[in-house]
Amino acid sequence: MRKERERLLKKKRIVVKVGTSSLVHTKTGYINLTKLEKLVRVLTDIKNRGIEVVLVSSGAIGVGRKALGIQGKPDTLAKKQACAAVGQGQLMMIYQKLFAEYGQISAQVLMTKTTILKTLNRTNAENTFEELLKMGVIPIVNENDTVSTEEIEFGDNDNLSAVVAALVHADLLILLSDIDGLYTDDPNQNKDATLIPVVNEIDATLVKMAKGVSSDFGTGGMATKIGAGRIANDSGADMVIANGADFGILNEIMDGKEVGTLFLAHKNPDFNMMDYIEKKTYLQ
Ligand code: GLU
């Protein structure tokens, strides 16, 4: 086992982010129940290893859109928010049913940027997470898309999940999407592009490189994922970007297998989440 991967065997509290593309059938956009079932089983089993788990799940808008029979992306904000209101409920209904089959209690936590920026709200959210985890619950987090508009939204769940990782003092953030990890170049354009197994530090060169990688997955591309890595790594959490095509990969990551890209934590003693969110320093 690669030395850097050994640290993954000792994780105590993890945040797993799953994008819409990993939760729906690509061809139809309808929810992939087989995959969702596996996700729930694997997460419950990670919890059974003695590791606390927080899930950040997208899919509200996509699921709601399908339920309401809306073709294509909703064209107004109100429509998008209506889709989220329907979809978030449906998604939670499915998650709670599946988790219950394994005797695992789950909970819904919806957040906006205001939740973090306002001290009282942030403290309340932090306390709630702490209490839920103490109770053995798996919190399922999403942006509160029904009420959030541009000024108060994170906009993508990559950043939201990094903020959640910092808020709950997680020691690992896992981003699952439809790409295997960080490549030296765009793997769709350049056949010689190779997967980078470990990133010691997210520096300016890496940020620049990620900006050049085109991506058609989810809301956030590679650049937002690197931005999320900055928040997570500075807060003291390692981050892994891996392919969510098969959720069994979560077990491989926790077993220290060489999958995806591992970004090593560099705890910044002056870490202040607000700087990252307000000034967007994670994108520089
Ligand atoms: N909050 C959005 C949803 O649930 C997803 C945002 C994202 O995928 O980054 O539909």
pLDDT tens digit sequence for 167-176: 999 999 999 9
- Between the CA of 56 and the centroid of ligand 1 the distance, in Å, is 10
Whether the CB of 143 sits within 6 Å of ligand 1: yes
Share of the chain above pLDDT 90, in %: 71
- Between the CA of 57 and the centroid of ligand 1 the distance, in Å, is 8
- Reading across the β-sheet that carries 238-243, which strands appear in turn? 106-111, 138-143, 52-57, 13-18, 172-177, 238-243, 261-263, 198-199
At residue 282, the pLDDT reads 59
State the average pLDDT over residues 246-251.
98
Please give the structure tokens belonging to residue 250: 């979560």
Whether the CB of 171 sits within 6 Å of ligand 1: no
Please name which of 133, 181, 139 lies closest in space to residue 161, comparing C-alpha atoms.
139
Atom 5 of ligand 1 has which residue's CA nearest to it?
Answer: 58
Whether the CB of 81 sits within 6 Å of ligand 1: no
More confident residue, 206 or 209: 206
pLDDT digits (tens, 9 = 90+) for 87-128: 999 999 999 999 999 999 999 999 999 999 899 999 999 999
- Tell me if 255 sits within 8 A of 49, measured CB to CB: no
CA 15 to chain centre: 7
- Hey, is 262 helix, strand or coil? strand
State the average pLDDT over residues 251-277.
92
Whether the CB of 220 sits within 6 Å of ligand 1: yes
At residue 277, the pLDDT reads 78
